[in-house]
Chains A and B, each alone.
Chain A
Amino acid sequence: MGAAILTNLPALLVVVPLLLAPFSAVLPIAGLAWVLALVGTGISFLAALMLQSVTENGVRISYHLGNWEPPWGIEFVVDSASSLTLVVMSGLGFLATLAARRLVAIEIADKDSGKFYAAWLLVIGGLFGLVMTADAFNLFVFLEISALASVILIGMGAGTDRRALVAGYHYLVIGAVGATFYVIGVGFIYAITGTLNMGDMASRLPDAAGGAALYVGFGFMVVGMLVKAAIFPVHIWLPAAYGYAPSAVSTLLAAIATKAALYVLARIFFTIFAGTPEIVDIALSNIIVPLAVGGIFVGTIMAIYEADIKKMFAHSSVAQIGYIALGLALATPAGISAGFIHIGNHALIKGGIFMAIGGFVAALGARASLETITGIGRRMPITATAFLICGLSLAGLPLTAGFISKLYLVRAILETDSYVILALVLISSALSVVYLWKVMEVMWMQPAPARSPKLVENPAIYLPLWMVALGNIWFGIDAGWIVGAARLAATALLGGGA
């Protein structure tokens, strides 16, 4: 029994959430649906942790779905790169689910919560599949599962703000374009190599006389995933989607959704096209690096001029995704490690920030804007302090996780002697203090408006929030685990991987 579970862990990670989803949809009681979601994400988290401990020694697990050998069957691959991504995603997914109970109860009608948690589980299961699958077409399937479920979740924000419908629609259309691009690219590569298995693609591509088809296929696949990862300038769906989605959904998506797409991008560059480094190098240094830096600036500057708190931090996510993409695009062991470190740390930071904003929204009963959160520091000290900690981490202050990210990213950039990029990163990082300062100033240094009602803080929200906030401090003081795991991940990716 034990061994059977252990060998089937990769499948379990995807199957459990996907199987629980339909049950959740038909459950009449909101609380029960939530318990199902919690159990599903909890099991996934445990499974991911176990996978991580197995792959820590450089072991690479290849799992054949239904015992069909690749290239006929679908293969799941778990190595130290994907297991780290899975641990981050499932851990934050679990914490987001914990906090979701109260946030959903407030923002979603009771009769819809069953469907809500069903979509919730589909998103999570789909994203896990995205990370593990070694089949290029199967990846498209998981991409669509998670994307469509995300659209449902975003659209459910319409109960409190009708703009959520437009945001969801935009995401649907732009996301579909991205996914289509990706699948067109896969088509070209399939035509050249005759396989959908990533490992086989990688080994056949160097010898296949691909010619133009190779470039076109590569280009379509990359652009498609750039859309999904919300890399500038195809990030435009993200601010509205995160901004108008229900608070719980913003937390989940901000913490884990783009991380999976970023990971897939890394797989495309360093696994599928490992055999044709010329085009990868050109794409990385001439396209991805400038786009990443551009995203960092655009996101930061948009955040500075944004008055709506959720949208502000959604813009900030665009910038933070830029930091991750920049690290990965440096294509050095140090750079990729820095990217993975920030995948983990940014999930902690943004997960916490959106949870806290959810707490504010729940108590205020209104959207959180610079105006409505005036003086909230003293009215909701528990939530606001956790928010402050995550904010400090976002700014990269020492003893927080964000500092470790910045430190290793800067070191990786210095190693490649790119001083212009270094200067740009430092400037943008200073600029990010501006919008954080704006929020903190309003929250802590201005008095609450006269005759404002008393705000109630709910432990169901602030307990998970504080776990995340303390995580930001913990991984800022003891960064050994994430730094080590990220280094292994970089080795696994650059070593050829699948």
Chain B
Amino acid sequence: MSLHTAMLVGLLAPLVVAILTPFLAVRHVWRDAAGPIGGVITFIAAVHVALAVLDGETPRLFVAQIAEGLALEFAVTPLGAIFGLVASGLWILAALYSVGYMRGNHEKHQTRFAAFYAVAVHAAMAVAWSGNLLVLFVFYEILTFSTYPLVTHKESALARNAGRLYMSILVGTSVVLLLPAVVWVWLSTGTLDFRPGGYLAGQIDPAMAPILLALFAFGVGKAALMPIHRWLPAAMVAPTPVSALLHAVAVVKAGVFTILTVVVYVFGIDFLAETGAADWLVWLSAFTILASSMVAITKDDIKARLAYSTISQLSYIVLGAAIASSIAVQGATLHIVMHAAGKITLFFCAGAIYVQAHLTKISELDGQGREMPWVFAAFFIGALSIIGIPPLGGSWSKFMLMVGAVDSGYLVILGVLGLSSLLNIYYLLEPVSRGFFRPKVKTVEVTSHPLVVIPPVLTAILSLLLFFYVDFFAALAKLMVIS
């Protein structure tokens, strides 16, 4: 398989799944198999591309020339290779899981759901492999539009209102802030490509750099930086497979991916570090980390708590980008992988508890751990990884972020990260301790659905493996900062 073919396959396989799904609607088995099979194919392509990137290549796919300096082109950066791997790899498990969830829950419109789910993955892959800011912007928008039918899947008044908030914040910020930022870059440099080391140094007035960065930081609503985070908790009305893959992995990671890409390949971390243009963003992301953790503690609904936890964890990545040192950026990049594996586990578990026992509140979980031991064990491991305890993947990224903060002289940030970890321990382990150590308060009938139990167990194991086999991702992350 040539690189060219691999990129075509990686970009088109999810789209093919989306197109085929409605035609397979009458044969449920085939329709439901299409997602996981498409996932495997996409993942193989993503691995192929990532290996080439590791060898120092930049796989490219040219589609059309729009005007001078504007091309419709895909080109895989090391960061893009990582995001592509994460999105496609987790899609395999999420697709399996959503079959179990949607069937177990007797949801309506399963065909429409599966089709838009695949379109969203397609958009995420295209964001990951985009060759310039324009292509990134376009697929960023397509990702928003394709997830709208998923967020409003239940078609209730609540879902529709959530969908409205979701669209107005994500589309609004991107059109009003992100697009002008992209145009600004094009007008001042004549290009929108991603280049190692960035290229804004000497091209724009350093005094304007913080403003341009702010347009990006707030224009990328998907990164859920406060105060534009409200769409994410609202999106939790969607069925859990959506929350798991899209609102813990693909959509939000597309947001922080965009910010990291802009910082590393457009601004250049040296330029930001020298001018201090990202200083304000360090403090805003630190604030978001703590504030959303505080909010998370107050939430009794499992998914709401996980949503605020996600907002907090996304700001770790933004923080790493804002510190703009080599080690902090690598830590942020690794956190994309580690948090994805950990958080998808937690959402899988939340959905499994709902499908099997119809429980949605943490206060109802007392004693349920013995009924669903695998699910609670997986939740435990995923939570540990997000907290950052060895030997789980999340410990690497948090460690590197801390080193990065100290290296750049942000000692207060070290305190913020420590405090945040303590808060994480409290609010992420509470469901587990209730499940295993409290006497049962509510007797519910637990029906067993293996398809919603196996995926979280696998992703929990993945979190464990990521601790020992971090080298591959670490090597890719290192390539990002060597220009």
Chain A residues near B (Cβ < 8 Å): 395-399, 404, 406-407, 410-411, 414, 426, 430, 433, 437, 441, 445-447, 476-480, 483
Contacts and interface: CB of A to CB of B under 8 A. Distances in A.
A478 B72 CA distance: 10
B189 interface: no
Q: How large is the interface on B (under 10, 10 to 19, 20 to 34, 35 or more residues)?
A: 20 to 34
Report, nearest first, the 7 A-B pairs whose CB atoms are least far apart: A430-B176, A479-B67, A477-B64, A398-B138, A398-B134, A399-B138, A433-B175
Interface in B387-416: none
B60 interface: no
Most-contacted residue by chain A among B141, B160, B175 (CB, 10 A)? B175
Contacts of B66: 399, 404, 476-479
A480 B67 contact: yes
Nearest to A446: B160
A441 B164 contact: yes
6 contacts: A404-B66, A430-B176, A433-B172, A445-B160, A445-B164, A478-B66
A426 B67 contact: no
B198 to A, nearest CB: 22
Contact of A411 (B137, B152, B163, B187): B187
A447 B152 CA distance: 12
Contacts of A398: 134, 137-138, 179, 182
A282 B79 CA distance: 53
A446 B155 CA distance: 10
Interface of B: 64-67, 72, 134, 137-138, 141, 152, 160, 163-164, 167-168, 171-172, 175-176, 179-180, 182-183, 186-187
Contacts of A446: 160
B172 A477 contact: no
Contacts, number: 53
A433 B176 contact: yes
Nearest to A441: B164
Contacts of B168: 437
Contacts of A433: 172, 175-176
B61 to A, nearest CB: 15
B67 A410 contact: no
Nearest to B167: A445
Nearest to A477: B64
Contact of A410 (B138, B141, B164, B187): B187
Contacts of A437: 168, 171-172
Contacts of B176: 430, 433
Contacts of B137: 398
Contacts of A414: 187
A111 B109 CA distance: 49
Interface SS of A by simple majority = helix
A430 B183 CA distance: 14
Nearest to A436: B175
Contact of B67 (A395, A397, A430, A483): A483
A405 to B, nearest CB: 11
Contacts of A399: 66, 72, 138
Contacts of A406: 183
B187 A426 contact: no
A390 to B, nearest CB: 16
Contacts of A441: 164
Contact of A397 (B64, B160, B172, B175): B175
Contacts of A426: 180
A410 B64 contact: no
Contact of B65 (A396, A411, A480): A480
A323 to B, nearest CB: 15
Contacts of B141: 397
Given A433-B175, A441-B164, A445-B160, 7 more contacts: A407-B183, A433-B176, A437-B171, A437-B172, A445-B152, A446-B160, A477-B72
Nearest to A479: B67
B179 A407 contact: no
B102 to A, nearest CB: 21
Nearest to A476: B66
A407 B175 contact: no
A480 B175 CA distance: 24
Contacts of A395: 175
Contacts of B175: 395, 397, 430, 433
A281 to B, nearest CB: 25
A410 B160 contact: no
Contacts of B182: 398
B186 A407 contact: yes
A96 B288 CA distance: 53
A204 B160 CA distance: 68
Nearest to A410: B183
Contacts of A476: 66
A441 B160 CA distance: 11
A368 to B, nearest CB: 22
Given A410-B183, A411-B187, A445-B167, A404 B138 contact: no
A406 B179 CA distance: 11
A445 B160 CA distance: 7
A25 B116 CA distance: 52
A437 B171 CA distance: 10
Nearest to B184: A410
Contacts of A411: 187
B60 to A, nearest CB: 18
Contacts of B134: 398
A426 B176 CA distance: 9
A404 B187 contact: no
Nearest to A434: B172
Nearest to A433: B175
Contacts of B160: 445-447
Nearest to A395: B175
Contacts of B179: 396-398
A250 B152 CA distance: 36
Contacts of A445: 152, 160, 163-164, 167
A476 B138 CA distance: 12
Contacts of A407: 67, 183, 186
A470 B456 CA distance: 44
B213 to A, nearest CB: 18
Nearest to B64: A477
